[in-house]
């Protein structure tokens, strides 16, 4: 279990639609601490993890459809690593674009939009 380091004053981040973690990586490089990353598909998580093998603080992952997630799901996920659930300072998200992509069908009513 990680010990929470609240003295580092790094803003704490929740990343929604994290995908392979490019947005998280940019925020980490800018001095933020990612506490929890949420993604609907497990495949991109492998890339996310591989990009952070040498990082000391690794986020917890919640692999679930964002439409089904409640605050308690996020709290329970973070609580697995921290004794105290830290306050989230920033929520980021690279929203899905499959429904708009050139490879997709570009349907306005695509549930992924």
Per residue in 53-70, pLDDT tens? 777 777 888 888 878 888
Global model pTM greater than 0.95: no
The question of whether 18 is a catalytic residue gets the answer: no
Taking residues 89-97, report their average pLDDT: 85
| 104 belongs to a structural domain | no
Q: Is residue 88 part of a domain?
A: yes
Any domain includes 54: yes
20 within domain boundaries: yes
Q: Is residue 48 part of a domain?
A: yes
Q: What CATH number should be reported for the domain holding residue 40?
A: 3.40.50.150
Asked whether the beta carbons of 74 and 61 are under 8 A apart, the reply is: no
Per-residue model confidence (pLDDT) at position 8: 64
State the catalytic residue, choosing from 31, 97, 106, 107.
97
How far, CA to CA in Å, does 60 sit from each of 13, 96, 102? 11, 20, 32
pLDDT tier at 7, thresholds 50, 70, 90: very low
What is the tally of structural domains in the chain? 1
Instruction: Confirm whether 63 is domain-assigned.
Output: yes
- Residue 99 inside a domain? The answer is no
Average pLDDT, rounded, for the chain: 79
| β-sheet with 33-39: strand ranges across | 60-63, 33-39, 12-16, 90-93
Provide the domain limits for residue 45: 11-24+31-93
Average pLDDT of the residues in 2-22: 77
The verdict on residue 1 lying in a domain is no
The per-residue pLDDT for 3 is 46
């Amino acid at each position: 279990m990680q010990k929470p380091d609240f003295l580092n004053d790094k803003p704490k981040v929740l990343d929604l639609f994290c995908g392979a973690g490019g947005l998280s990586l940019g925020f980490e490089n800018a001095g933020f601490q990612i506490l929890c990353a949420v993604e609907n598909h497990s495949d991109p998580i492998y890339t996310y993890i591989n990009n952070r093998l040498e990082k000391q603080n690794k986020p917890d992952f919640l692999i679930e459809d964002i439409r089904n997630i409640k605050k308690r799901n996020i709290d329970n996920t973070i609580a697995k690593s921290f004794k105290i659930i830290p306050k989230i300072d920033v929520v980021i998200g690279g929203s899905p674009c499959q429904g708009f992509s050139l490879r997709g069908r570009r349907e306005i009513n695509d549930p992924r939009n």
